[in-house]
Amino acid sequence: MAEQTIPVVDLARFLDGDAADQRAFVAALGEALTEWGFVAVERHGLDLAALASTFAAIKSLFDLPDEVKRRFEDPAGGRQRGYTSFGRERAKGRDVADIKEFWHVGPELAADHPMAGRIQPNLWPDDVLPALRPAATRLWASMHGVAAVLLRALARFLDAEEGALLRMVDGGNTILRMIHYPPPHEAEPVGEGAVWAAAHEDINLMTLLPEATEPGLELLRRDGTWLPVTPIPGQLIADTGDMFQRLTNGAIPATTHRVLAPPGIRSHRYSMPFFVHPVPDQVLAPLPGFVSDARPRRWADITAEAYLGERLRDNGVAHDGRAKA
């Protein structure tokens, strides 16, 4: 088996270990994210049957004709649910779009949930691909469970109350993004110098990524060099985004990363990052202890909803300001 290139932690040590195991896990997780911005997680307990069935469903999904997929594209909603077509999303500061298409699934909230009127409902292609809904909703729930455990551990690392980060994301706009990257030689032309995903930082609090079907992910190390991250079966890759960076006043960074097609690749790459978001009205302000004379405050307060809308306009997905968190 290939060796991982970033730190690896064992989530079972936190879930099933004694107090010493839990302390060791918390320290290893926090130190990896502080130094690298990325960490690989083993024995995470993700529902692997749901993962397999969702991968199978999305391969069928992206094989659908373009005119069928575009029935589920919602520009007015910032494309935060359903389909986003080729040539739409670009990294902040780039003029060229990425070589990818994707589909977003958010939480399935009950009608009486406090956030039901604020969080967009999902768009499901039930008439053409009924298998997607049960597979993706089951995977979303399982991913959310893993994220909740990691957020509990990170709260301990930050010396915050253990439920503090969990309360932020209860009812938030957390999204499972199902991505198709075609071999570049088969892709629709989107512009000179286009790649699968140009260098960027994630917008959200934390991202979880099960192993993709092909390699390509690279992170930017602190010394300015690029490091490939290996997709290893049984591991989740976790990274912290811009919103987490704001909560820690930059102490835990949002690490720049990209996805490049390996030279000569003929295979299609499928990937399913899980973007953990706070509730819309969560103010992105530093947690206690992260502002001092030695570490002055770096960013002004902004709500999660306003920040997400700003970033969606930056990357070309939303144009009219109506995207909601």
Domain that holds residue 38: 8-314
Q: Which residues pair with 276 in a beta bridge?
A: 206
| Cβ proximity of 240 and 277 under 8 Å | no
> What percent of the chain shows pLDDT beyond 70?
97
Query: How many Cα atoms occupy the beta-carbon half-sphere of 143 within 13 Å?
Result: 32
From the list 303, 290, 203, 288, the residue with the least C-alpha distance to 249 is 290
3-class secondary-structure state, position 10: strand
Angle at 209 between CA 321 and CA 269, to 5 degrees: 90
Lowest-pLDDT choice from 84-98, 183-197, 209-223, 234-248: 183-197
Assigned domain for 227 exists: yes
Banded model confidence at residue 224, pLDDT cuts 50, 70, 90: very high
Banded model confidence at residue 314, pLDDT cuts 50, 70, 90: confident
243-254 pLDDT tens trace? 999 999 999 999
Distance from CA of residue 324 to its chain's centroid? Answer: 17
On whether the pTM is more than 0.85, the answer is yes
Assigned domain for 170 exists: yes
Assigned domain for 125 exists: yes
What is the model's pLDDT at position 193?
Answer: 86
Q: How many domains does the chain have?
A: 1
Residue 321 has pLDDT above 50, yes or no: no
Assigned domain for 320 exists: no
Assigned domain for 178 exists: yes
Q: How far apart are CA 151 and CA 271, in angstroms?
A: 22
How many CB atoms sit inside 10 A of residue 113's CB? Answer: 14
| Cβ proximity of 259 and 265 under 8 Å | no
> Which whole number is the average pLDDT over 51-65?
98
Q: Chain-wide mean pLDDT for the chain?
A: 93
CATH number, domain with residue 307: 2.60.120.330
Backbone torsions φ then ψ of 236, nearest 5 degrees? -105, 140
List the alpha helices (DSSP H) in 64-205. 66-69, 132-157, 164-169
Assigned domain for 266 exists: yes
Q: How far apart are CA 130 and CA 152, in angstroms?
A: 35
Assigned domain for 2 exists: no
Backbone torsions φ then ψ of 185, nearest 5 degrees? -70, -15
Angle at 211 between CA 210 and CA 215, to 5 degrees: 140
> Which whole number is the average pLDDT over 33-44?
97
Assigned domain for 325 exists: no
Please report which helix (H) or strand (E) contains residue 313, including its range.
Answer: helix 304-314
Banded model confidence at residue 319, pLDDT cuts 50, 70, 90: low
Residue count of the chain: 325
Query: How many Cα atoms occupy the beta-carbon half-sphere of 89 within 13 Å?
Result: 24
